[in-house]
Amino acid sequence: MTVTNVEKDVEKLTLTITADFAAPVDRVWQVWADPRELEQWWGPPTHPATFVEHSLAPEARSLYFMTSPAGQRFYGWWHILTVDTPTSLTYEDGFANSDGTVDESVLPAHRRVTLEAITTGTRMTVATRFASAEAMERMIAMQIVEGLVGAIGQIDSIVRP
């Protein structure tokens, strides 16, 4: 398994997942930058994603949906804040309605992704900061930890040389 650490900090309202990959930083960056590669891993293994819009540029927007085994679609959006190719990006992450508009019933989270070279390849850290304790509790109840760990666990098979 590529995920090496999962840390929940309720006081700081953060969830941090660390994963190591036997691939160079540029290659791991591609799984974030290329929407077709992103579709191969974003979302839990049972809920594959389809990206309708995607760009890793400051102020860009990404729109996607995940499809359940029963065919139900769950929509989400990203608002890209910063990009430092190929080592980091930050974005807001939230739920969307089927027409792509923001679902205001769920507060967005702030996410920072960092990629760093290590002797065996790349270490990726995905740090999520929630807007409130209630928002964090809600996402944990919705199994965000299991979902992200399962999703990130799929990257290894994509970036293997």
Contact between 153 and 3 under an 8 Å Cβ cutoff? The reply is yes
How far apart (Å, rounded) are the C-alpha atoms in residues 161 and 147? Answer: 25
How far apart (Å, rounded) are the C-alpha atoms in residues 127 and 139? Answer: 14
pLDDT of residue 21: 97
Average pLDDT (17-42) is 97
pLDDT tens-digit map of 45-62: 899 999 999 999 999 999
pLDDT of residue 106: 86
* Number of residues that make up the chain: 161
Model pTM score: 0.94
pLDDT tens-digit map of 99-140: 999 999 889 999 999 999 999 999 999 999 999 999 999 999
How far apart (Å, rounded) are the C-alpha atoms in residues 16 and 7? Answer: 5
Task: Tell me whether residue 44 is exposed, middle or buried, using C-beta atoms within 10 angstroms of its C-beta: 0 to 12, 13 to 18, 19 or more.
Answer: buried
How far apart (Å, rounded) are the C-alpha atoms in residues 39 and 155? Answer: 11
How far apart (Å, rounded) are the C-alpha atoms in residues 118 and 121? Answer: 5
Structural domains in the chain, sorted by start: 3-159 (3.30.530.20)
Secondary structure (H, E, C), 126-147:
EEEECCCHHHHHHHHHCCHHHH
Average pLDDT, the chain: 95
Average pLDDT (58-70) is 96
pLDDT of residue 145: 93
How far apart (Å, rounded) are the C-alpha atoms in residues 125 and 17? Answer: 6
pLDDT of residue 101: 92
pLDDT of residue 70: 97
